Structure 1
Amino acid sequence: MRRPVLATSHGLVRGITGPEGIGVFKNIPYAAAPTGPNRFAPPRPPSAWNGIRDADAYGPTAPQAPYPPPMDRLLPEALVPGDDFLNLNVWTPDPAARLPVMVWIHGGAFTNGSGALTGYDGTAFARDGVVLVTLNYRLGAEGFLHLGPGDTGRANLGLLDQIAALTWVRDNIASFGGDPDRVTVFGQSAGAMSIGALLAMPAAKGLFHRAALQSGAAHHTLSPASAARVTARLAAILGVPPTRPDFAAVPVQHLTAAQLRLRGEISARPERALWGEAALNLMPFEPVVDHDTLPRAPTDAIAEGVAAGVDVLVGCTGDEFRLYTVPSGLGRTVTDGLVERTATGYGLPPGRGVAAYRAAFPAAGPGELLAQIVTDWFYRVPALRLAEAQSRHGARAFVYEFAWSSPAFDGALGACHALDVPFVFDNLADPAFAPLLGDTPPQVLADRMHGAWVSFATTGDPGWPAHDERHRAVRRFATAPGTVHDPRGGLRALWDDVR
């Protein structure tokens, strides 16, 4: 097998030639290992190396605890031990070309995931004329611990890692056949929420030119006050003072175990008085509006035009939250009272909010109603607001809904969270996705969806009308795809007063 050698700003790398002649380069460091003095510190450049560095296998991944059951059987993971995990991977069809670039930011609730999943293999993108990059970033407390206003410049380290990776792309991707002036960043779940924050971060400006956000937008962040509650409780669980040196002295395995315990406590008592916004999101570690690295809430900043000119492709799956209610059996335990408390907790008008959902889904039981309300609050409505904001400030915004229903769990999963990822990557055959996809996922749908993402990165147009507040075009990806206008518009309008 031919072993291509390319130059980066820190040294030469030797990749492999994959299927269809695609050049594959893995485990390229974009920042120094976040250990020792670099732990709980902003990313620093990697050291240069002499000779040729082999880039033929995935490198270490960020420390994390495995998903708990039943998510461990449904969401694929790739855990590679090692300290030097701020690395990235590149697939290129032609190092001598100047092709559009797509940079993938993985999801995992800011505590799980990596760029090393086989399902994120970039061969299909490279086959279709795109240079594809995947990356790792710091997770959990390592990436998103906030220690207050005196800790300037050290919040949101996971986002700063992503910016360091995008900076590496700007400075190096031309050696791999990519055009640094045509970079599309795309991600799913926490990856998409990261992109929502990047759109509002001064340090990220100009590092990407288009953005595709799947099942996440700019809405979900923590205030400093909420982050302080999380930090204080994590320190108490660990038995250390809440300072950066004391957290940095905690062994990684103890820290990840404490994070699991903390998340369990929040899930058991999701009270805003205890946890602030983390009680609604059930995510103790996520971007923090620290007024420095992230100066303002992304929703507000984007609404005022801070990301003007960045075209976006944004949307969600039709039944996002069923991933969490169906496999666990939670949906069978939901009562009408819980549905009402959840809806009013999200700000919907008491009584009237749930009544509107019952009218829209007359055959749905309490568990299905709860899943639909959470899907809209967490995913669909933030996506629409991001599209509206960008279109108001001169960018093109394209909205989609993934509506193909999985046959898993006797069809009860519907179009659940994460189901769209293998279609976007055109990797339906990857066995890691089988528990979600079932036996015969439609390849024609992967062709359409993957093709739309490639077209968006290449031309800025995924193939359907742009979204604006007059027409509200939404592309629905299902067995029989089509474009609809303002689907479930009455429910959308219901959320307009909830900010």
Structure 2
Amino acid sequence: MLPPVSLTAAALSLLAVSPQLAYAYGHGSHKPPTATVEGGKLVGTTTSLLAATATVNQFLGVPFATAERFSMPSKVKKWKKKLDASKRRPSCMQQFNYPESTRNFTMGMYNNPPPEESEDCLTLNIFAPSTPAPPGGYPVLFWIYGGSLTFGYSGNAGYDGSAFASYEDTIVVATNYRTNVFGFPNSPELPVKEQNLGLHDQHAALTWVQRNIKSFNGNPKKVTIFGESAGAFSVDALVTSSPSRPPFRAAIMQSGVTTLGTFMAGDAKGPETWAKLVAAVGCSGAKSPLKCVRKVPALKIKDVIERANLGFNPVRDGVTLVSDPSGARRARKIADVPVMIGSTSQEAKVFTIGQNDLDAYLASTFHVPALAAAIKRAYAIGSPGIENDNDAISAIYTDLVFTCPASATSSLSSTAGYQTHRFYFNASFANLQPPGLDLGVFHSSEISLVFSTYPKTGAAAAQEALSNYMRGAWG
């Protein structure tokens, strides 16, 4: 096994950057729950929410696959002794780009507290009701985290599925998957069908759920996949690449669809980016740069890609990503399952901090002067919700990258005859804002409402009511 990597003390100091999600639960004196899966026996832990009567069985850090660096996932070897599944295991290797200020802010917002990182990371966390299951078993929610396909961790406190298990009688499975160069290496030495390792990890986790969820009283025929941002992109990738016998019955996409081109630079720029990494780690002269980079310490690779801002992205491989997802949806050559697609009202507020020159933004984004002028008129300062250049930039970014793709995909899905639901989240709460900032209804701000993991301190009754409603709708 590859050793975990501890983050530095400097990274630990970032805890002050972001409001910590609070989630109150207690560990009772119950006998630890057990489950037998294809790898062996698991010993989990039983928890209870302070405001609930039902207890929850948690099985954390459960291995679902194994993989060497830049290799496809494969089944885990069986373990002989009981496996302790009472604690979260390391995240996969994450990428938080410099400069320092940007890196610190991103980590404070989305990696708080920072976990151990390791290449030995293909695990999942399972939250299941402890009560007897109904006939056929409990429904299952399968969560895929976001993070621009560069970072993310299933063990994030905000993704604790205990409220679903306790209040909705629904099992939550949250999976790790590889991101950045470790998940999407873009090496020309790898076959195209083995480039999207992170997406293959998600497929492997779903396959594991189909084979093993009955051990937790789950129903493999009642799996709903859901994710946010890059996780929603991944959900849509699963929907559009599974035309027959999908391993799920429904899908929820929060702030992301496959038409979002941000994640699709791997086809064109991938080999160039890979070459920069190869040169930076001293592997340019190797007969096989791939074999050479496989031997480089993970922390060195992490440091190189973060300091050089190297982006590694998925490619259209025809397996995990179809070449034309819109065409496949239009032709009804995708999974025939109900979908719910949505976004937040001020997604880009978190991405446009400090951007206060509207003309410069328009020129660099749209390149055609007449188009830039028309968009400036459409988002005129003084319009509702637009008081300054930053408001206008944020509104344009939000519509361009999130609102319009979600609307277009929803319309296309409905027109093609698929059961389609649309949501729009526009609730802002003070206890979700970073210290000293008001980002409104920013990207990812709905997640803690869905999971009911928002900070309970300072929470208004309306926040609790909305969270209960959303959790019920999702579950």
Name the counterpart of 2:61. 27
Tell me, yes or no, if the aligned pair for 2:358 and 2:392 is still in contact at 8 Å: no
1:159 aligns with 2:199: yes
CA offsets per residue over residues 134-169 of structure 1, 9 Å max, x none? 111111101012234862321110000011000011
Change (3 A) 1:291 1:230: farther
Q: Distance in 1 between matches of 2:258 and 2:160?
A: 26
1:349 aligns with 2:371: yes
Superposition pairs of residues 54-133 of structure 1, within 5 angstroms: 54-66=84-96, 68-77=103-112, 78-94=114-130, 96-97=132-133, 98-127=137-166, 128-133=168-173
Letter of the 1:109 partner, please give it.
S
CA offsets per residue over residues 28-78 of structure 1, 9 Å max, x none? 10001x3xxx21111010001113211110012101245712223332434
Which one scores higher on RCO, CA 8 angstroms, separation ≥ 6? 2
Name the counterpart of 1:9. 38
Instruction: Report the 3-state secondary structure (helix = DSSP H, G, I; strand = E; otherwise coil) of the residue aligned with 1:90.
Output: strand
Change (3 A) 1:351 1:66: closer
Name the counterpart of 2:349. 322
Change (3 A) 1:403 1:427: same
Gaps of 5+ in 2: 1-28, 49-53, 98-102
Change (3 A) 1:362 1:113: closer
1:403 aligns with 2:430: no
Name the counterpart of 2:185. 145
User: In structure 1, which of residues 287, 304, 318 is the aligned counterpart of residue 331 of structure 2?
Assistant: 304
Cα offset for 1:455?
3.3
Q: Distance in 2 between matches of 1:197 and 1:387?
A: 15
Q: Distance in 1 between matches of 2:242 and 2:295?
A: 31
Tell me, yes or no, if the aligned pair for 2:141 and 2:170 is still in contact at 8 Å: yes
Tell me, yes or no, if the aligned pair for 2:35 and 2:41 is still in contact at 8 Å: yes
CA offsets per residue over residues 239-271 of structure 1, 9 Å max, x none? 3248432331221111111221232xx7xxxxx
CA offsets per residue over residues 380-409 of structure 1, 9 Å max, x none? 111112212221232222111211224346
Instruction: Report the 3-state secondary structure (helix = DSSP H, G, I; strand = E; otherwise coil) of the residue aligned with 1:321.
Output: helix
CA offsets per residue over residues 304-359 of structure 1, 9 Å max, x none? 32324221111111111111223xxx23xx22322322451599923212211227
Tell me, yes or no, if the aligned pair for 1:170 and 1:207 is still in contact at 8 Å: yes
Cα offset for 1:82?
4.1
Q: CA RMSD in A?
A: 2.6
1:414 aligns with 2:440: yes
Cα offset for 1:119?
1.7
Tell me, yes or no, if the aligned pair for 2:186 and 2:266 is still in contact at 8 Å: no
Q: Distance in 2 between matches of 1:144 and 1:150?
A: 11
Tell me, yes or no, if the aligned pair for 2:154 and 2:175 is still in contact at 8 Å: yes
Letter of the 1:18 partner, please give it.
T
TM-score by length of 2: 0.82
Change (3 A) 1:4 1:348: farther
Instruction: Report the 3-state secondary structure (helix = DSSP H, G, I; strand = E; otherwise coil) of the residue aligned with 2:172.
Output: strand
Name the counterpart of 1:295. 322
User: In structure 1, which of residues 309, 333, 338 is the aligned counterpart of residue 360 of structure 2?
Assistant: 338
Instruction: Report the 3-state secondary structure (helix = DSSP H, G, I; strand = E; otherwise coil) of the residue aligned with 1:199.
Output: helix
Name the counterpart of 2:75. 45
Tell me, yes or no, if the aligned pair for 2:69 and 2:119 is still in contact at 8 Å: no
Cα offset for 1:443?
4.6
1:245 aligns with 2:291: yes
Tell me, yes or no, if the aligned pair for 1:405 and 1:411 is still in contact at 8 Å: no
CA offsets per residue over residues 176-224 of structure 1, 9 Å max, x none? 1111111111111111111122222249951112111111111232351
Q: Distance in 1 between matches of 2:408 and 2:245?
A: 21
Cα offset for 1:451?
3.3
Q: Distance in 1 between matches of 2:466 and 2:376?
A: 35
Superposition pairs of residues 436-475 of structure 1, within 5 angstroms: 440-457=458-475
Superposition pairs of residues 186-265 of structure 1, within 5 angstroms: 186-202=226-242, 206-219=246-259, 220=261, 221-222=264-265, 224-241=267-284, 243-263=289-309
CA offsets per residue over residues 73-120 of structure 1, 9 Å max, x none? 332434124443100011111475211100111111112110111221
Tell me, yes or no, if the aligned pair for 1:314 and 1:400 is still in contact at 8 Å: yes
Change (3 A) 1:45 1:427: same
Instruction: Report the 3-state secondary structure (helix = DSSP H, G, I; strand = E; otherwise coil) of the residue aligned with 1:340.
Output: helix
Q: Distance in 1 between matches of 2:40 and 2:418?
A: 38
Change (3 A) 1:94 1:303: farther
Letter of the 2:47 partner, please give it.
G
Change (3 A) 1:83 1:336: closer
1:177 aligns with 2:217: yes
Tell me, yes or no, if the aligned pair for 1:201 and 1:293 is still in contact at 8 Å: yes
Tell me, yes or no, if the aligned pair for 2:91 and 2:121 is still in contact at 8 Å: yes
1:369 aligns with 2:427: no
Q: Distance in 2 between matches of 1:190 and 1:50?
A: 36
Change (3 A) 1:456 1:406: closer
